[in-house]
């Protein structure tokens, strides 16, 4: 089988899966964030925010997927993997993702939009943590990503 180039992944469908995961988290009582790992255009891992139900600040989906990826995938596999995530990773998660060494992260809602929604201050940008290690792409499908947060009602 020929590997599918990262640029030809089915971006919209992978991103929409993160929105569904974010909505599931909100329904469970957690915060509205979801993420997937995609390799060769297939979703290989999924996670959603569980900071409330696990009572654990580390349970952002992005950090959890970085943790699983380092434990379960080879460095070569991680270097071919793209994370899609409903909202730009925070600095905690971007730090873990730098260790994982993914090829790219694609987000919908950016840190500045999130801060405006939550009334917080914008965090350090993911690109400033990830540097040259991982491409950072976004915002994509922004209206749909914002709708996830609007329905949560921060």
Ligand X SMILES: Nc1ccnc(=O)[nH]1
Q: Does residue 56 have a cis peptide bond before it, meaning omega lies within 30 degrees of 0? A: no
145 binds ligand X (CB under 6 A): no
80 to 109, contacts with ligand X by CB under 6 A?
87-90
9 binds ligand X (CB under 6 A): no
Q: How many residues bind ligand X (CB under 6 A)?
A: 10
Select 14 or 60, whichever has its Cβ closest to ligand X. Answer: 60
Select 81 or 87, whichever has its Cβ closest to ligand X. Answer: 87
Cα separations in angstroms, 113 against 59, 64, 89, 108, 120: 21, 23, 13, 10, 10
Q: Residue of minimal CB distance from ligand X?
A: 60
60 binds ligand X (CB under 6 A): yes
State the minimum distance, in angstroms, from the CB of residue 137 to ligand X: 14
Select 73 or 109, whichever has its Cβ closest to ligand X. Answer: 109
Q: What is the DSSP letter of 134?
A: S
Select 9 or 33, whichever has its Cβ closest to ligand X. Answer: 33
Select 13 or 52, whichever has its Cβ closest to ligand X. Answer: 52
SS3 for 73-91 is CCHHHHCCEEEEEEECCCH
Contacts of 133 (CB under 8 A, 6+ apart): 98, 101
CB neighbours of residue 118 within 10 Å = 12
Residue 25 class from Cβ within 10 Å (0-12 exposed, 13-18 middle, 19+ buried)? buried
Determine the 3-state secondary structure of 40 from DSSP.
coil
Which region among 2-10, 54-62, 71-79, 138-146 touches ligand X (by CB under 6 A)?
A: 54-62
Among 18, 23, 49, 134, which residue sits at the site for ligand X (rule: CB under 6 A)?
49
Residues that bind ligand X (CB under 6 A): 31, 33, 49, 60-62, 87-90
């Amino acid at each position: 089988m020929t590997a599918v180039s990262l640029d030809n992944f089915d971006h919209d469908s992978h991103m929409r899966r993160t929105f569904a995961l974010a909505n599931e988290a909100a329904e469970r009582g957690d915060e509205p964030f979801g993420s997937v790992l995609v390799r060769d255009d297939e979703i290989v891992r999924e996670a959603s925010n569980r900071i409330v139900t696990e009572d654990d600040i580390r349970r952002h989906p992005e950090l959890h997927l970085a943790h699983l990826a380092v434990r379960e995938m080879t460095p070569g596999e991680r270097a071919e993997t793209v994370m899609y995530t409903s909202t730009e990773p925070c600095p905690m998660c971007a730090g873990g993702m730098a260790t994982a060494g993914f090829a790219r992260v694609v987000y919908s809602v950016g840190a500045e939009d999130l801060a405006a929604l939550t009334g917080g201050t914008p965090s350090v940008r993911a690109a400033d943590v990830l540097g040259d290690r991982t491409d950072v792409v976004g915002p994509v499908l922004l209206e749909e990503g914002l709708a996830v947060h609007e329905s949560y009602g921060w």
